[in-house]
A = this chain, B = another copy of it.
Amino acid sequence: MLEELLQKENIDSGKLTASRIEAIRAKLAEANPVDIANEISEMEPKPMLTAFRILSKEQAAEVFTYLSREAHQDIFKQIPLEETAALLNEMFVDDAVDVIQELPSNIVRKLIDKVQDPSQRKAINEFLQFPENSAGSIMTVEFICLFGTQTCAEALQFIRKNGVDKETINTCYVTDATRHLTGIISLRTILLSPEDARIEDVMERNYVCAHTHDDREEVAADFRKYDLTAMPVLDTEDRIVGIITSDDIMDVIDAEKNEDIEKMAALTPSEKPYLDTSVWELARNRVKWLLLLMIGATVTSFIINRYNELLSHMVMLAAFLPMLMDTGGNSGNQVSTLIVRDLGNGGIEPCDWPMVLWKELRVGLMCGIVLAAVSFLRIYFFQSGVAFDVNIVVSLTLLCAVVFAKLMGCTLPIVAQLCKVDPALMASPLITTIVDAFTLVIYFAIATHLLPNQV
């Protein structure tokens, strides 16, 4: 839509008259800032700047927070530092901080010094101190503070006067004179209570809160547990310093899940979109894990080497190696995925381990027996070159491998949790390597035992 509007004008920004800019601006005022941002993000740098500068000051600040990382860079390159600072001045603090964190650090200091509003500057500075992934780093400082001694009518009056700039006023926070949080109250309660009721008599004293240094993942868990839409954040002295809203938490839930998935796939987690990540960075994130796992897998080659003698007499045995190891690996991953999920959401505690182990023993036996039977029949009917006793060895190994994989798949993540290591790291590839080694040992042990005359 924006592009159309600009093309209709068919001239670059220098020749746009003020009245025409006004006309376009009025049309854009109705549009959703996210959609405008998406359109601008896809433009070439020059028209992008033209389009961006047409927006009103307030709309520009909002649109800017939704632009892509590249668009941010493109715009920063073309506008003076003062204009950037003015933009930051207009933005919600947490959005401004997100933008700043993309910039090279030498620019950041100069830029912040140019932000005019001193309270905004101070807030941005404080935000930059919070550790990554902490509650402090995702909170917003725009919220409404009330006093317990106010009446509901006074509180409403106060909100009417002070609410314009606040990111959310649906929940208000009640503090004493020293900014200690004494309760929370929803706008709804204020509205639905008698006008002369005192805030402290109708507020909720039982609230869920976070501290600035809490891990954002724990905050997200509490959000979901208590079905919250906003949560107050307190500093080390229990004074309220910010709030976290549900839109930020949605991003956290998504990011934390992606982190788990990436760890399970032996990747160094990164929140950067794939297409924005350089080849070099992609290779670096991956090669160290591949190396580690490759070195780990060499143990399998030593095991096979030990049974060289057996293998050279029974080359047929080698044909089943990949199938046995893949099935074992898949069986292990199935469990570990479920266990990692439930360890993450509190559905499983480490003390449940014996119960889980007993469950997996039975699941493993059931799956193992079915797989072994199907494999036996398949080989018997469709691979006539395979001797009957070799078929028995393969089926037995399959059963053992599946059961062992199930037991390892539930044990490793729980052990990791006990050792304060992220269970997701223990999942998938590591389990595959361990199960592989075990499968080989069992395979050759059974073969040596059952096929003595061939050796």
Nearest CB of chain B from residue A37's CB, rounded to whole Å? 10
- How many identical subunits does the complex contain? 2
Query: Is A249 part of the binding interface, using a Cβ–Cβ cutoff of 8 Å?
Result: yes
A contact residues vs B (CB 8 Å cutoff):
30-32, 34, 156, 159-160, 163-164, 169-170, 187-188, 191-192, 205-206, 208, 220, 223-229, 245-247, 249-251, 253-254, 257-258, 260-262, 264-267, 273-275, 279-280, 282-283, 286-287, 289-291, 293-295, 297-298, 300-302, 304-305, 308, 311-312, 315-316, 318-323, 325-327, 329-331, 333-334, 336-339, 341-342, 345, 347-348, 352, 355-356, 359, 362-363, 366-367, 370-371, 374-375, 378, 383, 385, 402, 428-429, 432-433, 436, 440
State A254–B252 Cα separation when bound (angstroms): 10
Partner of A261, one of B295, B323, B341: B341
B253 touches A229 (CB 8 A): no
Q: What distance in Å separates the Cβ of A52 from its nearest Cβ neighbour in chain B?
A: 19
Q: Return 18 A-B CB contacts under 8 Å, by A number.
A: A159-B191, A163-B188, A250-B250, A262-B341, A265-B336, A275-B348, A275-B352, A279-B366, A280-B366, A283-B367, A290-B367, A291-B374, A294-B374, A305-B316, A305-B385, A311-B315, A318-B318, A325-B326
A326: chain B residues within 8 A (beta carbon): 293-294, 297, 300, 325, 429, 432-433, 436
Instruction: Say yes or no: B266 contacts A334, CB within 8 Å.
Output: yes
* Contacting residues, chain B, for A318 (C-beta < 8 A): 304, 311, 318, 321
What's the least CB distance linking A270 to chain B, in Å? 9
